[in-house]
A and B are shown apart, each in its own frame.
Chain A
Amino acid sequence: MIKSGLQDKTASASQSGQTAAVTHSVRIVDCGAVYLCGEHETLLQGMARLGKKGIPVGCLNGGCGVCKIAIRSGAINKTGAMSRAHVSEQEEAQGVVLACRVSPLEAVEVEVVGKLKKAVTRTPWGAIVT
């Protein structure tokens, strides 16, 4: 279930002066990683802040699409625009969203859809990238 509508800018997840301490557990079903994510930050920010891996980290601003996830359970809040080049309205309505653009309202389970690691090893960059 997604609560849509942009968050008030003063409560934006990028503000470091947040006093909100409410956190919820986030479970990435693919790798089993579990982490605590604050209501004031996006799922991706929460994961990156703790140095966890599991969801690919890209631009963190809704434009590049690599952090695409499917919400398996739990309510989330949409915090900003997601590029329609990567998430259609239908997908969004079905809970397929960008992890950098949603924050948790309760405990959440997600599945990674973004295919960052898809076939990098088979591309011309395969021998070059880490």
Chain B
Amino acid sequence: MTVMRIGHVNIRVMDMEAALKHYQNVVGMKITHQDEQGNVYLKCWDEWNKYSVILTLSDQAGMNHIAYKVNNEQDLDALQKKIEAHGIQTEMLPEDTLPFVGRMLRFNLPSGHDMRLYASKECVGTDVGSTNPDPWPDDLRGAGAHWLDHALLMCEMNPEKGINKVADNTRFFIEVLGFFQTEQIVVGPGGAIQLASFLSCSSKPHDIAFVGGDRPGMHHLSFFLDSWHDILKAGDVMAKNRTRIDVPPTRHGVTRGETIYFFDPSGNRNETFAGLGYQAQRDKPIITWTEDQAARGIFYHTGVLNESFTTVYT
């Protein structure tokens, strides 16, 4: 009864043409579908399902919903019971509510974010195929992102009012969805307040992350690259396209990931993230970053964290 991986993110864009140029030419995704409402569906070359990003035209930026894949249809029913027992209302959306996807379980996280779980999405294969495949395809574009790796969601946090949606989400993901904690940032007396939480449902250092802020939102969606060299090349691609870079190539202390943060034309933050960091396992000791070294957890080289990291997001 396990969640397998991130399935897709639906984000809002204010200029579809500019967004499509960005996700194709800079990130390297390909359009696989457009529906009658004008939503556009894209996938990365190393993914085998139909899409991992859905773009929706809107008058504002930000995330509509995030979806994770579960193993099978019975898992959906079992998780529905567990989620409802936790006190969260759910809705089972019928097959084809989203194109090429089977039934979807919809609910709101304790932080308010709209989350979906699904068991089936059409399998179209990776761009290199499954029979005697090459390691990469000839038509790689831009950064050549392998796959949508994870997302970081901003969650309301106000210790004075006793609000910590980071901790609430973490408890839900562990107790109900079966994720496990890999890393965390703690602050306050005795390190009692969980300010940032990193969780895995695989052997990757994180499949989702939560960070505390003023209001709920999406901090970034992240695309996987192999190595530091690919990160450098991605930075070059961004410069060629005059993409607004938020943080130039560096390393995170948390997850050991090599990273660039940048913005899409609607201000949604993206990340190119490289390296598998370490092997995450349920019995691996949880990594904790303390208040005095938390900045180095986010940006390992400089150990300096600008306030924009926690205040600029959609």
Q: Write the residues of chain A forming the contact surface with B, with a CB cutoff of 8 angstroms.
A: 14-16, 56-64, 66, 80-86, 116-117, 120, 123-125, 127-130
Given A62-B266, A125-B195, A57 contacting B308 (CB threshold 8 A)? yes
Which single member of B59, B242, B307 contacts A116 (CB below 8 Å)? B307
Shortest CB-to-CB span from A116 to chain B, Å, is 6
Docked CA distance A83–B266 (Å): 8
In the complex the two chains form, is B267's CB within 8 Å of A64's CB? yes
B164-199 interface (Cβ within 8 A of A):
187-188, 193, 195
B274-314 interface (Cβ within 8 A of A):
291-292, 294-295, 304-314
Shortest CB-to-CB span from A117 to chain B, Å, is 7
Which single member of A60, A64, A80, A130 contacts B304 (CB below 8 Å)? A130
Contacts of A58 in B (CB 8 A): 267, 308, 311-312
A-B contacts besides A61-B264, A63-B62, A63-B267, 4 pairs, CB < 8 Å = A14-B242, A85-B60, A116-B308, A124-B193
Docked CA distance A81–B61 (Å): 10
Give the number of residues in B that approach A within 8 Å (Cβ atoms).
39
- The secondary structure that dominates the A interface is loop
Contacts of B313 in A (CB 8 A): 64
In the complex the two chains form, is B212's CB within 8 Å of A66's CB? no
Q: Would you call B80 an interface residue if the criterion is a C-beta within 8 Å of the partner chain's C-beta atoms?
A: no
Contacts of A56 in B (CB 8 A): 308
Docked CA distance A86–B60 (Å): 8
30 A-B pairs in the complex with CB atoms less than 8 angstroms apart: A15-B242, A56-B308, A58-B267, A59-B244, A59-B312, A60-B267, A62-B267, A63-B60, A63-B263, A64-B267, A81-B14, A82-B14, A83-B62, A83-B267, A83-B314, A84-B60, A86-B60, A120-B307, A123-B157, A123-B310, A124-B157, A124-B159, A124-B188, A125-B212, A125-B307, A128-B291, A128-B305, A129-B309, A130-B304, A130-B305
Which single member of A61, A83, A124 contacts B263 (CB below 8 Å)? A61
Contacts of A57 in B (CB 8 A): 308
In the complex the two chains form, is A128's CB within 8 Å of B61's CB? no
In the complex the two chains form, is A129's CB within 8 Å of B307's CB? yes
Counting chain B CB atoms within 10 Å of each CB, which of A61, A81, A120, A129 scores highest?
Answer: A61
Docked CA distance A84–B283 (Å): 45
Q: Would you call B75 an interface residue if the criterion is a C-beta within 8 Å of the partner chain's C-beta atoms?
A: no
B186-240 interface (Cβ within 8 A of A):
187-188, 193, 195, 212, 214
Docked CA distance A57–B246 (Å): 10
Docked CA distance A123–B62 (Å): 23
Docked CA distance A80–B16 (Å): 12
In the complex the two chains form, is B311's CB within 8 Å of A124's CB? no
In the complex the two chains form, is A117's CB within 8 Å of B59's CB? no
Docked CA distance A15–B241 (Å): 9
Which single member of B62, B159, B214, B295 contacts A128 (CB below 8 Å)? B295
Docked CA distance A116–B311 (Å): 7
Contacts of A117 in B (CB 8 A): 307
In the complex the two chains form, is B266's CB within 8 Å of A61's CB? yes
Which single member of A61, A124, A127 contacts B244 (CB below 8 Å)? A61
Docked CA distance A124–B267 (Å): 25
Q: Would you call B127 an interface residue if the criterion is a C-beta within 8 Å of the partner chain's C-beta atoms?
A: no
